[in-house]
A and B are shown apart, each in its own frame.
Chain A
């Protein structure tokens, strides 16, 4: 009874708030239209139409159901004045309380009414929100159909390749018809589109893009026809989500790639200004040429002394810049105002710090023109076309070739380490503790038929044999397929008032094995995974200052023995390395999500190599174990 009263009150409260938002006198409101979405009637607990929209509560079950179907979430808390809806493709739609505008991925739009809040409830304009999620309200007689649509069509160049990506409100179901190598027709059933028409994206591998809409209001259909330039072929590639569909057009093998510009004519150099000295070992911009390209394009050729990482950003006010990391300018900065193309100005500057120099090349554009970045062995070429990007990306990164060494600056002192209590002549001076990560019900990560707890235990046993042969006393935190936890730890952790006591107790039990033995070293073995298959290699995590040289010793020896990609040593707040009192390292040996690493992890010889590498690293760092008479003290 009480529950239904509360519900009634909530509905009443929402109604009053909605009427206040819309400025509609009580009794004068119109009934909301019947809304249909994906073949079912969408029922709101309370919806108030007005100003060409419908005010709907953020807590309304009907709205939540609608957002769930689209894979979107809404976030609002009374202390904050922002209501944020995150779409499935991670775009954000942001409403501000008491403001009659909202933003969709940073682009400001006019809302039909100001969003208002009352306690934990806020009233949003439903149609405006739906359109931002690529769902168009379409009148259909006395009802309104909420029609999912193809929302964006993006055409971008990547060297000689052109990638077309379509994004929609819902997961895309596509049928393709390859008429020729150059021509592909794709039909999306159940999706309407506001993008109908023909485009000719110049400067790309595409000759024409045609979007046609058919079907009915309830079951719409969008057909996309892509025609590549002569000599190209196409292939469908995975989109970056279920609601994205991508096709790449590229030159067929043996065909000549389209030349983008005539031989460049260098601009006269600007008057010399104070230029930073060239730092040996870093990349240096040895030449920078700004020249006209074909079709009013502007070409900037940057010649580098060695490979460099770069990162570019497109700002909302038609500015675009690229930063070359760890790079210096050999000459002065430049300020150019080209008399051709859509580029209003080009600025080249040395920025960053003496420790981390950055060369920034910034363009002021007439509009959001398409920009192609073409890295190669000698540097990179930036081509600014005179063609508007249909849906320009805002940021990206890459490198000009060769491995890129990255580092993350920290501008604050390291947290206080756990005191180092190790006594070389103590009782545990001959003891090394190996921690095979996970175990028992805790499988760790599991992909491609590989289970972390099994691999870590396998390596631990191999390592135990090798270290024992060196003369060490070796203890494992688990000797079988269990997740060890001490009853004392569970009781203590639960008693000290910290929630999640159990997880802490499990980890502390492993730490206690090493601390109680006053061990010389602690090695925690793990296997990594990532949400994508590209990440690979071996990483050595440390926390306390005394861990760092041990991590570096292990890095050198394991990489040499196992031949994995060296992902470096990293300072990280990991429990078992933080709370152990001796030099400790957590090793993520390889990724079970990367095909190359998976092949390695399946081979016993690789696991043996990892163990051998660790044993070598222990020897390099700690030498031989002290004599038994010392450890017996």
Chain B
């Protein structure tokens, strides 16, 4: 009887482990940018420091994405001075708080905002991070769209949103 209980517990533990494990975070991660056609994504890889916990790596990946690819690479880039304030990872969901500079200095077309958020969402939802949806906050607030924007960002975004 004791062995049976032990077996059931072991199977349950194994099932839980398999169901909850994420991909392994290696020495580098992919960071996506959107090319100047506004739709094509391209990855580049960045080296990680010693920290491998998901919150640290997600914060790092998001900040690299906001910074964009190396200088000289044609890309749709987030407005200058945009910063990642916080990234909070809970389960398969991440909440990214961006500084208000992400809205830019004047209203723009849909081209840039969809290209920018597409890159951010694809960066954070890469398999090794175990994140499938991304909530966006601007200066801590949940917003329907960017001010005078088009893209709806008050619900969680995923790769299927684009």
Contact A96 B107 (CB under 8 A): no
CB distance B70 to A105 under 8 Å?
A: yes
A397 near B42: Cβ-Cβ < 8 Å = yes
Which B139-162 residues have C-beta < 8 A from chain A? 141-145, 147-154, 157-162
Distance A574 CA – B146 CA, assembled complex (angstroms): 11
Which of A311, A394, A531 has its CB near the most chain B CB atoms (within 10 A)?
A: A531
Task: Name the residue in B60, B73, B74, B150 with the highest tally of chain A Cβ atoms < 10 Å from its Cβ.
Answer: B150
**B158 — nearest CB in chain A belongs to which residue?**
A412
**CB–CB A531/B59 < 8 A:** no
Whether the Cβ atoms of B71 and A167 lie closer than 8 Å is yes
A570: B residues at CB distance < 8 A: 39, 114
B-facing residues in A74-96 (Cβ within 8 Å): 75, 77, 79-82, 84, 86, 88-92, 94-96
Inter-chain contacts of B132 with A (CB < 8 A): 412
Interface string of B70-87 (1 = CB under 8 A from A): 111110110011011111
A393 CA to B73 CA in the complex, in Å? 8
How many angstroms from the CA of A178 to the CA of B144 in the assembled complex? Answer: 54
Report A148-172 residues with CB < 8 Å from chain B CB.
154, 165, 167
Task: Please tell me if A526 contacts chain B, counting CB pairs below 8 Å.
Answer: yes
Answer yes or no: B19 CB below 8 A from chain A CBs. Answer: no
- Whether A535 is near chain B, meaning CB under 8 Å from some CB there, is yes
CB contacts (< 8 Å) of A99 on chain B: these are 49-51
The range of chain A's interface size is 35 or more
Interface SS of B by simple majority: loop
Min CB–CB distance A620 → chain B (angstroms):
24
Nearest A-chain residue to B88, judged by Cβ: A79
**Residue of A80, A315, A396, A444 touching B56 (CB-CB under 8 A):** A80
Say whether A599 faces chain B, with CB atoms less than 8 Å apart: no
Q: Which of B107-154 contact A (CB under 8 A)?
A: 107-112, 114, 132, 141-145, 147-154
Please tell me if the beta carbons of A108 and B47 are within 8 angstroms of each other in the complex: yes
Q: Taking the complex as formed, is B55 at the interface, i.e. its CB lies under 8 A from any CB of chain A?
A: yes
Indicate if the CB atoms of A535 and B111 lie closer than 8 Å: yes
A362 to chain B, nearest CB (A): 15
Q: How far is the CB of A590 from chain B (nearest CB, A)?
A: 10
B22 interface residue (CB < 8 Å to A) = no
Q: Could you tell me if A395 and B73 are in contact, using CB atoms closer than 8 angstroms?
A: yes
A240-B71, A396-B73, A573-B157 as given contacts; A82 in contact with B143, CB under 8 Å? no
Is the Cβ of A578 less than 8 Å from the Cβ of B51?
A: no
| Cross-chain contact of A530 among B53, B86, B109, B148 (Cβ < 8 A) | B109
A233-250 with Cβ < 8 A to chain B: 240-241, 244
**Given known contacts A81-B51, A526-B150, A588-B110, A395 and B144 CB-to-CB distance under 8 angstroms:** no
Known A80-B56, A529-B108; judge A92-B71 contact (CB<8 A).
no
Apart from A503-B149, A526-B109, A574-B110, 15 more pairs, CB < 8 Å: A75-B83, A80-B59, A97-B51, A99-B49, A99-B51, A165-B72, A410-B159, A445-B108, A530-B112, A573-B152, A574-B151, A586-B110, A586-B150, A588-B109, A591-B111
